[in-house]
Every structure is written in structure tokens, then in C-alpha cells.
Amino acid sequence: MKSILILCNGNPPSERLFREHYNPADYLIAADGGGNIALNMGIDPDVVIGDLDSFIPDPPHSFEVIRRGDQEANDLEKALRLAREKGGERITILGATGHRLDHTLKNLSVLKQFNKGFEQIRMVDNFGETLLIPRSFRKVMGIGTQVSLFPLSGKVTGITTSGLQYPLSQETLENGVRDGSSNRVVGRPVEITYDKGDLLLFVATR
């Protein structure tokens, strides 16, 4: 079980975006109300997990439903624990952003919490892709692509980039002090390195 798609109950992905990520995935975990989103698109998830306060199966389903009522964990955490149990390596999360800001912020916190447990986790929505990048990151991206860098928690130090319109050289980003939003890809590949902290990369897709 390499590639796992998780569908949460935030702002739903477009059907095109959902199918783009569903087709190559080995396994689909719906986090609670995310199950309704899948069913509405005519797809049965492999499993629905959560406290099931939002999932309303209609018509009766044949897939696995796991009720985990733990109040300390949100639905995305429950889905990521299951993804780990299933041997997931590359995780794509849809529907984790865009509606309630508290849920989006909690999901970003969960992203940090689980980031080291997988080869890759990324949150994808109709606007772009968000991931916590490793200390040394390198990727070929389309020239002109809008990208932003954010410190997820506290300072991120020693950031150096190449391939971006506004390059950083051994610089520090900190919320409310300095951030790296609204940058743009101008070279290939984009390379980003940093010393310390949790650096979030947002890549716009439209």
C-alpha cells in the first residue's frame, strides 16, 4: 500500500481534481463527512473513518466503516493513523482546507505532527498544493508558477532558494515579521534549503 488518498470534509475538491488524485491512488480513506463527498461523485471509498457525526451513507453501503470516537484526535488524524497502519508511504489529502479556519489550522498542525511518518504528505485543494518541505528540497516546476513559503510554527532560519523571482539567501521567515508569500518560479529546478524550523511550501495550480 504505497499511495493513499484521504478525503476530508472541508471545501470539496472539484470532480476533476478528485479523479486526478483518485485514479493513481492505491487506497481511498474518507475522513467522516468526506465519505459523502466521495459517494456524491459516484465513488465508494475503501473505508470511512471518524466519529461519524457527519457521515450519512445513502444508499446503504458495502465498504468498511470504522467508528473512532476519540475526542482528542480530529478526523484527519484518525485517517492518517489508519494510513500508517495500512503501510501508506505517499499521502495526498483533499478537502482539508477552505471552510472553517479552525479546521484548516488544526489540519496544518496535524500535517506537522505526521510529516515525519511518511515519505510525503501533501494537502491539495482547488487552488494549489501545500506541503512541509525537507531541509533540502528540489523540484522542477513550470516557469511562472506562483509559490509561497510560510513558517508553520515560529521562525524558520537559514533559508536559501534558487529558481525563484525573489530569492532568499540565508534568511529567516517568521509570521507577522517576514514571510515568503507571492513568489514565482523563474528557473529550473527550484531549490530550497534551510537550517531550522517547519517550512510550508504552497504551490498554486491556477
Binding site for its own copies (CB under 8 A): 11, 71, 74, 97-106, 108-113, 115, 123, 125, 127-128, 130, 146, 148, 150-155, 174-177, 179, 181-182, 198, 200, 202, 204
Q: Cβ of residue 203: shortest distance to its own copies, in angstroms?
A: 9
Q: Cβ of residue 106: shortest distance to its own copies, in angstroms?
A: 4
Nearer to its own copies, 46 or 104 (CB): 104
Written as one string, the DSSP assignment of 115-143 is GGGSSEEEEE-SSEEEEEPPSEEEE---T
Nearer to its own copies, 170 or 182 (CB): 182
Q: Cβ of residue 61: shortest distance to its own copies, in angstroms?
A: 27
Q: Cβ of residue 70: shortest distance to its own copies, in angstroms?
A: 12
Nearer to its own copies, 2 or 178 (CB): 178
- Residue 173: strand pairing partners: 156
**14 backbone dihedrals φ, ψ, rounded to 5°:** -60, 155
Nearer to its own copies, 28 or 110 (CB): 110
Q: Cβ of residue 44: shortest distance to its own copies, in angstroms?
A: 29
Nearer to its own copies, 3 or 126 (CB): 126
Calculate the alpha carbon distances from 169 to 107, 157, 195 in Å. Answer: 30, 10, 12
Q: How far is CA 22 from the centre of its chain?
A: 15
HSE (side-chain half, CA atoms, 13 Å) at 196: 5
Helix, strand, coil abundance in the chain, percent, nearest 5: 20, 35, 45
